[in-house]
């Protein structure tokens, strides 16, 4: 049996203010969420080298997370009580990164491939519906007000399984076929974000810059600068059209990642690893 097989998998639930991170993924010479977390895990667990983390959604520079999920494989016996590790890590982690929980990963769990959907929120403030300055780092300010009915009617046309190549920065060997499960915008009616437009975007998975392009296109329609015919034309394109604005990272938060019941984790991971190349008709 190879040494790898003897490792134990742990699930980490975490949140961060993305403003001062160059995104999730480790980059040489840059401060990243993965980099900070791997470094502090190694220090607290007295490891010779940082363990490798795998996350559910590799957020870009400036994007926040409330419900990021990651996993790490460790040799048995390395992990103290997970609650104690959570406490210890939160004492040393920088103030813009918090670990909600560490738990033993169930059999078959893979932070990225076992997930059945990811939910993002994109938050917009309109010119005269002032959001409080304390929240400005999680909002994108619009220059024009938005007609939410118009925006939501356009959003409905984008739901379902399709090639979202028109909304993605293409990556070599990757697919841009996704199932968009939810896309709608609402004004927040209560609490500190009162008046803010909150766009919920939920899909089985996302490709690079997809949420920010989708909301960017919808804002074009919601402000009346473009119509649904334009949106349809854009959506049918195979590659990203520069006419679709990619909104700023600061408005975006990874809110939640959902996994199936434990019994289906491995099956879901096998399914998700299979690259889709065609949309069934």
Positions annotated as catalytic residues are: 60
CA distance 11 to 249: 26
Among 4, 48, 49, 128, binds a second copy (CB under 8 A): 128
> Interacting stretch for a second copy, rule CB under 8 A, among 98-106, 109-117, 146-154, 225-233?
98-106
Residue 252 in the binding site for a second copy (CB under 8 A): no
Nearer to a second copy, 16 or 113 (CB): 16
Residue 96 in the binding site for a second copy (CB under 8 A): yes
Largest CA distance in the chain: 64
User: What are the structure tokens assigned to 24, written together?
Assistant: 């999730």
CA distance 38 to 62: 19
Count of residues touching a second copy (by CB under 8 A): 27
**Alpha-carbon separation of residue 241 from 80, 207, 230 (angstroms):** 50, 15, 12
Angle at 174 between CA 106 and CA 207, to 5 degrees: 70
Residue 189 in the binding site for a second copy (CB under 8 A): no
Cβ 231 vs Cβ 152: under 8 Å:
no
Residue 66 in the binding site for a second copy (CB under 8 A): yes
Among 15, 108, 165, 216, binds a second copy (CB under 8 A): 15
> Interacting stretch for a second copy, rule CB under 8 A, among 128-136, 158-166, 235-243, 263-271?
128-136
User: What are the structure tokens assigned to 79, written together?
Assistant: 């992990």
Element at 199 (helix H, strand E): strand 197-203
> Interacting stretch for a second copy, rule CB under 8 A, among 74-82, 127-135, 175-183, 231-239?
127-135
Nearer to a second copy, 205 or 252 (CB): 252
- Rounded to a whole number of angstroms, the minimum distance from the CB of residue 191 to a second copy is 4
Q: How many CB atoms lie within 10 A of CB 16?
A: 25
Nearer to a second copy, 86 or 235 (CB): 86
**Residue located via tokens 């766009």:** 199
User: What are the structure tokens assigned to 273, written together?
Assistant: 């690893």
Which residues are at the interface with a second copy (CB under 8 A)?
A: 15-17, 64, 66, 87, 90, 95-100, 127-128, 130-134, 136-138, 190-193
């Amino acid at each position: 049996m190879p040494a790898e097989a003897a490792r134990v998998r742990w699930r980490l639930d975490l949140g961060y203010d993305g403003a001062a991170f160059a995104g999730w993924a480790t980059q040489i010479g840059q401060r990243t969420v993965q980099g900070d977390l791997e470094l502090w895990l190694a220090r607290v667990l007295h490891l010779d080298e940082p363990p490798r983390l795998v996350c559910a959604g590799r957020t870009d520079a400036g994007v926040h997370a409330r419900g990021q999920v990651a996993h790490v494989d460790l040799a048995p016996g390395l992990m103290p009580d997970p609650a104690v590790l959570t406490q210890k890590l939160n004492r040393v982690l920088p103030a813009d990164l918090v670990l909600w929980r560490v738990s033993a990963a169930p059999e078959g769990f893979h932070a990225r491939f076992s997930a059945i959907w990811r939910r993002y929120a994109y938050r917009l403030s309109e010119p005269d519906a002032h959001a409080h300055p304390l929240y400005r780092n999680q909002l994108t300010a619009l220059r024009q007000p938005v007609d939410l009915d118009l925006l939501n009617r356009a959003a409905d046309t984008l739901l379902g399984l399709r090639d979202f190549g028109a909304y993605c920065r293409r990556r070599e060997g990757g697919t841009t076929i996704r199932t968009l499960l939810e896309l709608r915008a609402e004004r927040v009616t209560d609490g500190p974000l009162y008046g803010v437009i909150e766009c919920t975007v939920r899909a089985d998975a996302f490709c690079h810059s997809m949420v920010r392009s989708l909301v960017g296109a919808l804002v074009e329609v919601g402000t009346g600068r473009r119509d649904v015919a334009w949106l349809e034309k854009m959506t049918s394109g195979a590659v990203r059209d520069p006419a679709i604005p990619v909104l700023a990272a600061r408005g975006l938060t990874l809110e939640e990642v959902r996994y199936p019941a434990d019994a289906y984790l491995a099956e879901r991971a096998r399914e998700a690893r299979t690259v889709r190349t065609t949309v069934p008709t």
